[in-house]
């Protein structure tokens, strides 16, 4: 099967569709695979108890990858801690604000984040996402947290490099090979993290002035792989879709986002920080762990900034 043309992608979109699988009213998509039993089994994976954050710092610094930086404002600081006027009350307060989608913030995409031909997961209309909020497929589908077995696939290590060449997309065959190499297998209900060595790329390369670094990503062949394996959640240190794409497909600029979110109902974790987790996994010689994602409970929200925590 090839994934080069618009009609290839349209066929793939249908093939991996989970529309209706969990009922006409479902908004959880492949989170349905992550059952309480699987959560309980994942907890049993914990050995050392080491916790590792997989998030980048709150992205307040402007830059080519961060054109609309997050806001962090001290509202009351140590220079005026009694401004409240209550005797003995000395406090500091702050404000944070963020439009978290894009390339800078570690965040989760709700299933309403992407539409294909005006529809989102389970066939709901794009019109359901109004100026006042998403009436369908909001992040509230994940309000009780995602807590399951995390599996990290280290593609640079497979290739014997520090990072994935942004021109050479990761293929499904490589996902299989990485599993073999790491002696781990991703299955139903798992949270799969695919490292492309984004931060190692930055250390060794200098982006062009005014541009962010290119981001490596997945070949569309990975899409049926994710579908067949019944993965619950997918994470990356980049954004799954190579940016810019070395092999763009007409009208399908972000095939992984389009098929995962809109067809499969597979929540995505973008812009994770995986270098610390890779190091911890190498140290403990294991690539599975308990993994928890706790989105903010934003009613009608299209996602949330998150700080996913792996426990080894």
Which DSSP letter does residue 142 get?
Answer: G
Query: Does residue 123 touch a copy of itself according to CB under 8 A?
Result: no
Exposure b/e, 51-83, CB count within 10 A at least 16 = b = ebebbbebbeeeeebbeebbeeeeeeeeeeeee
Query: Does residue 78 touch a copy of itself according to CB under 8 A?
Result: yes
How many whole angstroms separate alpha carbon 142 and alpha carbon 148? 13
Question: How many residues at the interface with a copy of itself, by CB under 8 A?
Answer: 106
Query: Does residue 297 touch a copy of itself according to CB under 8 A?
Result: yes
What tokens does 57 get?
Answer: 């710092």
Query: Does residue 132 touch a copy of itself according to CB under 8 A?
Result: yes
C-beta closer to a copy of itself: residue 149 or 229:
149
Query: Does residue 85 touch a copy of itself according to CB under 8 A?
Result: no
DSSP secondary structure letters along 15-69:
HT--TTTT-TT---GGGGGS-HHHHHHHHTT-SS--EEE--PPP--S-BTTBSSP
Query: Does residue 298 touch a copy of itself according to CB under 8 A?
Result: yes
Query: Does residue 131 touch a copy of itself according to CB under 8 A?
Result: yes
Q: Which of 10, 53, 161, 171 binds a copy of itself (CB under 8 A)?
A: 53
Query: Does residue 229 touch a copy of itself according to CB under 8 A?
Result: no
What tokens does 8 get?
Answer: 């290839």
Q: Which stretch binds a copy of itself (CB under 8 A): 19-27, 45-53, 195-203, 229-237?
A: 45-53
Q: Which of residues 241-260 bind a copy of itself (CB under 8 A)?
A: 250-254
Q: What does residue 74 show for φ and ψ, rounded to 5 degrees?
A: -75, 125
Burial class (CB in 10 A: 0-12, 13-18, 19+), 307: middle
Query: Does residue 72 touch a copy of itself according to CB under 8 A?
Result: yes
How many whole angstroms separate alpha carbon 312 and alpha carbon 309? 10
> Which among 268, 300, 295, 35 has a CA at the least distance from the CA of 145?
295
C-beta closer to a copy of itself: residue 178 or 254:
254
Contact 170, 214 (CB under 8 A): no
The three-state secondary structure class of 150 is strand
How many whole angstroms separate alpha carbon 146 and alpha carbon 291? 8
Find the shortest distance in angstroms from Cβ 204 to a copy of itself.
20
Whose tokens are 């090839």? That residue is 2
Q: Which of 20, 71, 123, 282 binds a copy of itself (CB under 8 A)?
A: 71
**What x-and-dash track marks residues 185-224 binding a copy of itself by CB under 8 A?**
-----------------------xxxx-------------
Q: Which stretch binds a copy of itself (CB under 8 A): 21-29, 41-49, 152-160, 180-188?
A: 41-49
Q: Which stretch binds a copy of itself (CB under 8 A): 14-22, 68-76, 157-165, 264-272?
A: 68-76
Query: Does residue 112 touch a copy of itself according to CB under 8 A?
Result: yes
**What x-and-dash track marks residues 86-105 binding a copy of itself by CB under 8 A?**
xxxxxxxxxxxxxxxx----
Find the shortest distance in angstroms from Cβ 271 to a copy of itself.
12
Find the shortest distance in angstroms from Cβ 235 to a copy of itself.
14
How many whole angstroms separate alpha carbon 300 and alpha carbon 112? 9
Find the shortest distance in angstroms from Cβ 156 to a copy of itself.
23
């Amino acid at each position: 099967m090839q994934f080069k043309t618009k009609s290839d992608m349209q066929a793939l979109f249908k093939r991996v569709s989970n529309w209706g699988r969990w009922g006409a009213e479902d908004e959880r998509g492949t989170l349905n695979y992550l059952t309480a039993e699987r959560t309980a089994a994942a907890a049993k994976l914990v050995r050392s108890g080491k916790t590792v954050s997989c998030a980048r710092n709150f992205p307040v610094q402007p830059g080519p990858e961060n054109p609309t930086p997050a806001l962090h404002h001290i509202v009351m600081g140590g220079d005026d801690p009694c401004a409240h006027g209550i005797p003995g009350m000395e406090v500091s307060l702050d404000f944070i604000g963020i439009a978290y989608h894009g390339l800078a913030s570690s965040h989760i995409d709700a299933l309403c984040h992407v539409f294909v031909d005006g529809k989102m997961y389970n066939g709901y209309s794009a019109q359901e996402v109004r100026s006042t909020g998403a009436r369908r497929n909001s992040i509230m589908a994940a309000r009780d947290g995602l807590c399951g077995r995390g599996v990290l696939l280290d593609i640079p290590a497979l290739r014997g490099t520090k990072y994935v060449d942004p021109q050479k997309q990761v293929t499904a065959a490589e996902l299989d090979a990485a599993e073999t190499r790491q002696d781990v297998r991703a299955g139903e209900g798992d949270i799969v993290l695919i490292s492309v060595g984004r931060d190692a790329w930055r250390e060794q390369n200098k982006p062009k002035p005014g541009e962010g670094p290119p981001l490596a990503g997945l070949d569309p062949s990975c899409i049926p792989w994710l579908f067949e394996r019944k993965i619950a959640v997918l994470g990356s240190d980049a954004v799954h879709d190579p940016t810019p794409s070395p092999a763009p497909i007409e009208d399908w600029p972000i095939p992984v986002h389009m098929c995962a979110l809109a067809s499969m109902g597979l929540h995505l974790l973008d812009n994770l920080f995986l270098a610390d987790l890779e190091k911890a996994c190498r140290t403990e010689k294991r690539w599975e762990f308990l993994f928890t994602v706790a989105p903010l409970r934003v009613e009608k929200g299209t996602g949330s900034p998150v700080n996913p925590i792996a426990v080894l």
